[in-house]
Amino acid sequence: MALVFHGGNGNKNAFKALIAAEYTGVQIELAKNFEMGVSNKTPEFLKMNPIGKIPVLETPDGPIFESNAIARYVTRLKENNPLYGSSLIDFAHIEQWIDFSSMEIDVNIARWLYPRVGYIPYLAPAEELAITSLKRALGALNTHLASNTYLVGHSITLADIIMTCNLYVGFSRILVKSFTSEFPHVERYFWTLVNQPNFHKVLGEVKQTDSVPAISSQKQPVQPKEPAKPKEVKKEPKQQPAKPKTPEVNEEEEDAPKPKPKNPLDLLPPSKMILDEWKRLYSNTKTNFREVAIKGFWDMYDPEGYSLWFCDYKYNDENTVSFVTLNKVGGFLQRMDLARKYAFGKMLVIGSEPPFKVKGLWLFRGQEIPKFVFDEVYDMELYDWVKVDISDETQMERANAMIEDQEPFEGEALLDAKCFK
């Protein structure tokens, strides 16, 4: 019986076994007319893998599932296969790097990529953790490859095949050049491997992505409509003596939703500062910004009805990738939308080289940062907040510089400035 591979040949989990087969000299036949979502749901397939996942390899001794196990089996078909090294310690190191590739590289690429393409819900903190974990893993890999051409020994092993296939997903889908350039030895290693004849035969021409996928919109599930109730045929009531009228209960009024309670900020005493007037002045001032907009702001500002706050991101040392830092700030401003009626903000991303600093200035209705903002916007906890002392000229000038997007700001270049209005 020939080896029959179920799962197509277009994904990295299939590539592992197919590349190993090229090096081992093993013939693998692809299952004919395999259709994902159909073929893997059949009773025949579920007998081979009860949870219906791909890939699966049919062998004379029975089926095997899980891509690393399949690649190991194919490699073992050749006695003393150099893909498994030449000693017990080589074997152990190959297994070590296979596990590292699976648990540190593959997992974190997936945690970054899958939410962006809509496979699982997108959460900004989860993405930040995935990127941080991936950079840590790539840093360790880069250090090892600084003095090694391959992962183990002086020739290609199964560890290199599995590592390269896992990196392939990242390089082709989400790891842009500006990200991978921090790991030059990983870059050299990857491009060396994918251009080897046995890799190229399976992978074809490999190109690095030039952009990170945009976040897919998460649509809310459509609620099924309730089936229409059959209309009841009203029976004519019998004539009865007139009774004193009693007030009728309007069922629709009883079921009507109660009006939402007012936001506590709406119950504050009126302020002389009209926030929308300041926002219009800010937006419409194109020249002489200091003389017009900044002066206008302080003329309008009501220290009894509003308060100003500086914010400083607590984890600036993690801001090592420019587009990730910009996305982080953009996501924060999107989540602040619930406070648009009561707030104005400026957020600066500072620095020409990583790590980038994120600082901001916010104007809030009332004397404290609104409680509902802290309750609803998780990003607030990621910043240190300090109330601006408007009697301090230094703090006043710092606020002016932030409103104006002054550059340099505190001696450093601005990477970007965003406004919430």
pLDDT tens figures, 99-157: 999 999 999 999 999 999 988 899 988 999 999 999 999 999 999 999 999 999 999 99
Host H or E run for residue 158: helix 158-173
Pairing mode of beta strands 28-30, 306-313: unpaired
Q: Of 386, 326, 334, which is closest to residue 362 (Cα–Cα)?
A: 386
The per-residue pLDDT for 39 is 87
The per-residue pLDDT for 400 is 95
Over range 64-85, report the average pLDDT. Answer: 93
Please state, in angstroms and rounded to a whole number, the distance separating the CA atoms of residues 251 and 230: 19
The model carries a pTM of: 0.55
Q: Does position 209 have pLDDT exceeding 80, yes or no?
A: yes
The per-residue pLDDT for 168 is 96
The per-residue pLDDT for 72 is 94
| Helix residue ranges per DSSP H, 204-318 | 251-255, 275-284, 289, 295-300
The per-residue pLDDT for 227 is 47
Three-state SS at 88: helix
Widest Cα–Cα separation across the chain: 107
The per-residue pLDDT for 220 is 40
Cα 166 to the center of its chain, rounded Å: 19
**Token representation of residue 373:** 């903002």
Say if residues 129 and 135 touch (Cβ distance below 8 Å): no
The per-residue pLDDT for 249 is 41
pLDDT tens figures, 231-243: 444 444 455 555 4
Of the two residues 255 and 365, the one the predictor is more confident about is: 365
Q: Does position 273 have pLDDT exceeding 90, yes or no?
A: yes
List of residues 6+ apart from 236 with CB closer than 8 A:
none
The per-residue pLDDT for 258 is 56
Please state, in angstroms and rounded to a whole number, the distance separating the CA atoms of residues 32 and 4: 9
Cα distances (Å, whole numbers) of residue 405 to 232, 292, 311? 67, 15, 15
The per-residue pLDDT for 36 is 82
Q: Does position 328 have pLDDT exceeding 90, yes or no?
A: no
Please state, in angstroms and rounded to a whole number, the distance separating the CA atoms of residues 346 and 401: 10
**Token representation of residue 170:** 């990242």
The per-residue pLDDT for 378 is 83
**Token representation of residue 187:** 């870059």
**Token representation of residue 227:** 């089936």
Three-state SS at 246: coil
Of the two residues 8 and 189, the one the predictor is more confident about is: 189
